[in-house]
Chains A and B, each alone.
Chain A
């Protein structure tokens, strides 16, 4: 009996964990993908094909000759070239009143950015991090390159 209880309880814990994983609002979605592109999420490695949701804390990694494009829920466009590592450190957005915040890191490679609705409404709640600097934006499109950067 107690064994059954434990099994059921265990199954419930696993179920609730997977529910909470699903409950996280996505940050965006992969809209273009070329060559080997992966998303690292909680120790798992997923193939980043077109249509794959991108969640806060995801790491996007492109291989040689690869590239990936992501549209975040606030209409921010992110795209990375080959041998890049991009991390969605933070992303929160309430579409009904267009408020939120985001923090995105580039550890290596190339990243192109066209900022969206959060940057338009509250530019101070948007930042981009390189290994040595923090970038603030004012309604902006820009590109960042990090050579010989950090692989983690």
Chain B
């Protein structure tokens, strides 16, 4: 009896799985770099690593094929049209020691304010950094002060305070690594990430 139960059970599972057809298509990455999706199931794994490489599963069997931009559009146009605007990132630079922006960065800041008004439900992350002049502790404080200063400026331009997060990373994440106590303009900066 139990010899019969198992195949029947398996058949039922196969039928259930057969109902759910599944398709995955790898798209070209926005930055043009190589990318891949690995699909694992009870049977093993399938790797998609070329743009428009696709796999479809029906009745417990996977088949891979080359999809086309037209097919992706036909099946996924609504999902793709709903994709949020891509996050963007800016870097603002400071005059030495304080929280005064360089002249070039003043211009960038006004572009950022403009973009914030154009984004749906914009959220802003402000991350402050310093060079290695001064102690690590004082640089933690200075980086936080720079981030907070930029947060205040954004609030003054009309951005809601609860949309902006400000953190300081001190001298930990230099754009240009240096010895201690070296002044480096490129490291005295605030990153502003919009999403």
Contact residues of B: prevailing secondary structure: mixed
**Residue A89 lies at the interface, judged by CB distance under 8 Å to chain B:** no
**Which A residues have a C-beta under 8 Å from some C-beta of B?**
29-34, 50-51, 67-71, 75, 77, 79-82, 84, 95-96, 110-112, 114, 116, 130-150
**Which B residues have a C-beta under 8 Å from some C-beta of A?**
17, 19-30, 33-42, 48, 57, 72, 75-87, 119-121, 123, 125, 165, 167, 169, 193, 195
Q: Are B120 and A50 in contact (CB under 8 A)?
A: yes
Question: Which residues of chain B have C-beta atoms less than 8 A from A82's C-beta?
Answer: 78
Query: CB < 8 Å: which of A77, A143, A149 contacts B84?
Result: A77
Query: CB < 8 Å: which of A84, A131, A144 contacts B23?
Result: A144
Question: Which residues of chain A have C-beta atoms less than 8 A from B27's C-beta?
Answer: 141-143
Question: Which residues of chain A have C-beta atoms less than 8 A from B76's C-beta?
Answer: 81, 110, 112, 143, 145
Q: How far is the CA of A50 from the CA of B123 in the complex (A)?
A: 12
Q: Are B120 and A32 in contact (CB under 8 A)?
A: yes
Q: How far is the CA of A140 from the CA of B29 in the complex (A)?
A: 6
Q: Within the complex, what minimum Cβ distance (angstroms) separates A19 from chain B?
A: 17
Q: Are B80 and A146 in contact (CB under 8 A)?
A: no
Q: Within the complex, what minimum Cβ distance (angstroms) separates A75 from chain B?
A: 4
Q: How far is the CA of A77 from the CA of B87 in the complex (A)?
A: 9
